[in-house]
Amino acid sequence: MKDFSQIADKESVEKAINALKANNIDAKFFQTGEEAKQAVLALIPEGAEVMTMSSVTLDTLGISKEVQESSNFNSVKNKLNKMDRESQGLEMKKLGAAPEWTIGSVHAATEDGHLLIASNTGSQLPAYAGGSAHVIWVIGTQKITKNTDEGIKRIYDYVLPLESVRLNKQYNVNTGSFVSKLLIVNREFMPGRVTVIFVGEKLGF
């Protein structure tokens, strides 16, 4: 059985990059997390509106912190943190659904050029699917799978148990997480809208 925690080899990374480019998704590779972080920040214009989605990968690389604490960017997350979910819930959903720039990660990227994102609440999916003008996904190469079927298997057999443990620990609950919704990006309609940054390190789940 495939070990979904292992970093992909060079051939697998190159296959994924070439296939993604053929599907109108720009893709690049950086050996280290620090190189990837600098590449991500360099893509975003100063003063741009940026939404950092909840992501172990972004937190590990310090990208979430940089966007939220730096004066270089207009952080959507900072705005949301100041709002009241009970009285401003709809406005909060709108802000998160269509930011100018969105940064996050995925749970599987395939050698034939597809990207899979599982979600419990679905909150990050509108921006990813089409709402955001620019999307950047930072992906540790252990997430590369042969095809979509293997990607789905990775989500259920590997990602979900780890995410359930993280969720239970963070929120002191015992319900675990669920794959309530699953977004599969087969192709991008607008060239240049989506950029994938592969990193030669194990990042996230």
CATH of the domain at 187: 3.40.50.10420
Residue 205 domain-assigned (yes or no): no
Look at residue 174 and tell me whether its pLDDT is greater than 80. no
pLDDT recorded at residue 110: 98
Query: Is 204 a member of any domain?
Result: no
Cα separation, 81 vs 76, whole angstroms: 9
Q: Is residue 3 part of a domain?
A: no
Q: Using 50, 70 and 90 to split pLDDT, how confident is the model at 190?
A: very high
Q: Dump pLDDT digits (tens) for 129-158.
A: 999 999 999 999 999 999 999 999 999 999
User: Do you know the residue count of the chain?
Assistant: 205
**Residue-wise pLDDT tens digits, 46-84:** 999 999 999 999 999 999 999 999 999 999 999 999 999
Domains contained in the chain, number: 1
**Across 192-203, average pLDDT:** 98
Q: What is the pLDDT of residue 170?
A: 77
For the chain, strand residue ranges (E) read 26-30, 49-52, 74-75, 101-104, 108-110, 115-119, 134-140, 144-145, 181-185, 194-199
Residues 6+ apart with CB under 8 A from 64: 52, 55, 58, 77
The verdict on residue 46 lying in a domain is: yes
Tell whether 4 is covered by a domain. no
pLDDT for residue 149 = 98
In a domain, residue 1? The reply is no
What local confidence, expressed as pLDDT, does residue 186 receive? Answer: 98
Quote the domain boundaries for residue 115: 10-199
Residue 136 lies in a domain: yes
Note whether residue 121 is domain-resident.
yes
- Burial 119-135, CB ≥16 within 10 A → b, else e: bbeeebbbbbeebbebb
- HSE value, Cβ hemisphere, 13 Å, CA-based, for 74: 9
